[in-house]
Structure 1
Amino acid sequence: MSDAPKVMNGNQRSWRREIVELAALFLAVGLAHLLATLLGHQEPGPVLMVGLGAALIVGAAIHKRLGRRPRRAAPALPVEDDAGSPMVLWRIRMRVMERPGRLATVAGAFGRLGCNILALHIAPTGSSAITPAGCDALDEFVIEAPPGLVLDVLAGALTEAGGHDVVIVPAQVKDLTDPGVQALVLAQRVGADPDRLPEAMAELLRVPRVEWRRPGDTVDEGAKLNTTMVISVNPDRALLIRRPELPFTPTEAARAAALTATARQARYSTPD
């Protein structure tokens, strides 16, 4: 039923157009006959008519040629959406209360800001020394976010979603590697060559440099809590690891100790 009026309107438009074209044809013939009558009996009349005809032919040719030229596209308007812009990777850590629906609330906060969660690790804190009252888990996310997102806005949204002590630092693609798989690969590396322990430790804990220290050497006492870690390798040497922007977690400390034990065993074990 809804299509019938559209067909009738189209037929009405076609009939009107044909009537207009037919009227224009009659008008053109009438004007041509009148012009021929007025000028035909005068001496320059034929010459003038030929000139008018030639001018019409030239004008039609020029119009046709100009119509074939490609038209310049209008300048594109600026697009407000950042869908085509490259995303930025961030590593986010915060302390939370383990409650049903908590993760959904945090994910909703990310989604409202146009962020995409690429990796998530949840670790129980288990120590009152590093856990504020009421917080019993440590969540770490690797996300991709729009380049124009203000970090203060992101931190505020996560705090409203239940996060405490939100820390946001730049992330790299290698941060998406599964920690378990990475630990096994690094353990195999130091097992084959214990001298590569500092290099493997830096990769495990995602720090730019690991330094050798001797027992008794001073450590920066003004550093923030859990941002410096000293791991004993043997009675004469230890590894000093600093990460001021992101405190170490108990899980990371356990992984570092296990990696050191692997290197120590490879160094001092004797074949049967």
Structure 2
Amino acid sequence: MTLWRIRATVDDRPGYLSVLTASLALRGVNILAVQVHTTEAGAVDDFLVDAPDTLDEAELVAAVERGRGRDCWVARSEARGLADQPTRALGLATRLVRDPEDTGGALRALLGADEVAWLPTRVAGGIDGTTMQLPDPAGGSYRLRRAAPSYTPAEYARAQALVELAATAARRAADHVTLVLPDGAELLVRPATADDLAGVRELHEGCSARTRQRRYFVGAALPSPARLRRLLEPAEG
């Protein structure tokens, strides 16, 4: 038996996917995994299959077409294709949180791209056959290319989510700075959050009444907890 990837467009109507799978089954093809991408042209079905060694690419395409599939693409696959796709995506996300600079490598692994390039100019995002353009939230854009098959809107959405995650992770990493004091001690400097409310109140308690009055212009009393929370979580971010 040989592993293959098959992608084909099927009319998004009841029973059409069943006809396609039945046509493959008649040739002894076992479907191991399937993903469905919704497009304007119909449902693009992405199969990972185990087929008899005697079947070649042309025979698989013919089986798909007999099952009412069209725009068929077939290619040999590897055992790693058996990996659970959501688990694989989460693994790539974890990798990006640890190393946001590896966005290009993560995109290549996610979509099987042959080429991933970062461009300094920001362009409108979208897909054009086997080329994908992705705006980078940090500036610039990514261009992805592969020989086949064409990208789908679902793949674009996945790539966009990965790029946004990388940008968020990079911002968080930039916000955390470690300072080395003269005595050699390390001090972590980071943006305050709502979890720091008690510490911020303690900081205000350590200030003189005159200092608090000059800061808030409304008297020397301690700011209310609600006001301190607004300080940590501004309405406009």
Shorter-chain TM-score tier: 0.5 to 0.7
| Partner residue, 1:173 | 79
Map of 1:72-87 to 2, 5 A cutoff?
87=1
Note the C-alpha offset of 1:212: 2.3
Q: Show CA shifts across 1:128-187 (max 9, x none).
A: xxx2xxxx2111101111222132222122112110111112222222222222222211
Map of 1:218-237 to 2, 5 A cutoff?
225-234=128-137, 236-237=139-140
Does the Cα contact within 8 Å between 1:91 and 1:140 map onto a contact in 2? Answer: yes
Residues 115 and 183 of structure 1: CA distance in aligned 2, closer, same or farther (over 3 Å): same
| Partner residue, 2:171 | 268
Does the Cα contact within 8 Å between 1:191 and 1:263 map onto a contact in 2? Answer: yes
Alpha-carbon separation, structure 2, partners of 1:199 and 1:139? 25
Alignment of 1:109 onto 2:23: yes
Local SS of the residue matching 1:124: strand
| Partner residue, 2:161 | 258
Map of 1:57-76 to 2, 5 A cutoff?
none
Runs of 5+ in structure 1 lacking a partner?
1-86, 218-223
Does the Cα contact within 8 Å between 2:4 and 2:76 map onto a contact in 1? Answer: yes
Alignment of 1:149 onto 2:55: yes
Note the C-alpha offset of 1:123: 2.3
Alpha-carbon separation, structure 2, partners of 1:216 and 1:260? 14
Note the C-alpha offset of 1:225: 3.8
Residues 236 and 122 of structure 1: CA distance in aligned 2, closer, same or farther (over 3 Å): closer
Local SS of the residue matching 1:229: strand
Alpha-carbon separation, structure 2, partners of 1:242 and 1:153? 28
2:153 maps to a residue whose letter is P
2:171 maps to a residue whose letter is Y
| Partner residue, 1:138 | 44
| More helix per residue | 1
Residues 216 and 121 of structure 1: CA distance in aligned 2, closer, same or farther (over 3 Å): closer
| Partner residue, 1:197 | 103
CA RMSD of aligned residues (A): 2.1
Q: Show CA shifts across 1:109-140 (max 9, x none).
A: 11221211111111221x3xxx2xxxx21111
Note the C-alpha offset of 1:216: 7.1
TM-score by length of 1: 0.58
2:62 maps to a residue whose letter is G
Local SS of the residue matching 2:136: strand
Larger radius of gyration: 1
Aligned residues: 172
Alpha-carbon separation, structure 2, partners of 1:178 and 1:124? 20
Q: Which of these residues, 143, 149, 152, is aligned with residue 240 of structure 1?
A: 143
Runs of 5+ in structure 2 lacking a partner?
176-189, 192-237
Q: Which of these residues, 93, 96, 99, is aligned with residue 7 of structure 2?
A: 93
Identity %: 33
